[in-house]
Structure 1
């Protein structure tokens, strides 16, 4: 019950103040450039990395990216840039 109320209040504030939803609701922002680069902001940490898969912890769930020839170009506490051939981006609910 409290979660629904908080979500409704956050949605109302976001619409009223015109803040981007990712800022107000702590959502990840994902920017892709073709199949070559993906930039993710507002994640909670790196769970797994190989040259074919990257998994990130989100506030709710995980983000899984599959492909090949992956290289992490930038990694900061809440931001990551991945380069390689991106074939699949999947949101995994917790």
Structure 2
């Protein structure tokens, strides 16, 4: 019950204060530049990495990125910049 109330409050506060939803709702922000770069903010950790697949943990679910020739250009606790040829970005619910 408390979790539902907290979610409603965050949604209300986001709308009333005109704040970006990713900040208040703890959502990931994904920026894709063509098929070459993908920048993900507000993830909870790197689960798997290969030159064809990257899997990130989110607050709710996972983000799966498929393609080839992947290289991690930058990795920080809640941010990652990935370079390579991106073919798919999938959101996986838990």
TM-score, normalisation: structure 1:
0.96
- 1:8, CA displacement in angstroms? 1.3
Match for residue 52 of structure 2?
52
Secondary structure of the corresponding residue to residue 26 of structure 1? coil
> Is residue 63 of structure 1 aligned with residue 57 of structure 2?
no
Give unpaired runs (5+ residues) of structure 2: none
Match for residue 74 of structure 1?
74
Poorly superposed stretches of 4+, deviation over 3 Å? none
Counterparts of 1:1-94 in structure 2 under 5 Å? 1-94=1-94
Q: Distance in 1 between matches of 2:61 and 2:55?
A: 10
Secondary structure of the corresponding residue to residue 16 of structure 2? helix
Give unpaired runs (5+ residues) of structure 1: none
Q: Distance in 2 between matches of 1:82 and 1:58?
A: 16
Q: Tell me the number of residue pairs that the alignment of Structure 1 and Structure 2 aligns.
A: 94
Q: Distance in 2 between matches of 1:93 and 1:65?
A: 14
What's the Cα RMSD here?
0.7
- 1:2, CA displacement in angstroms? 2.8
- 1:51, CA displacement in angstroms? 0.1
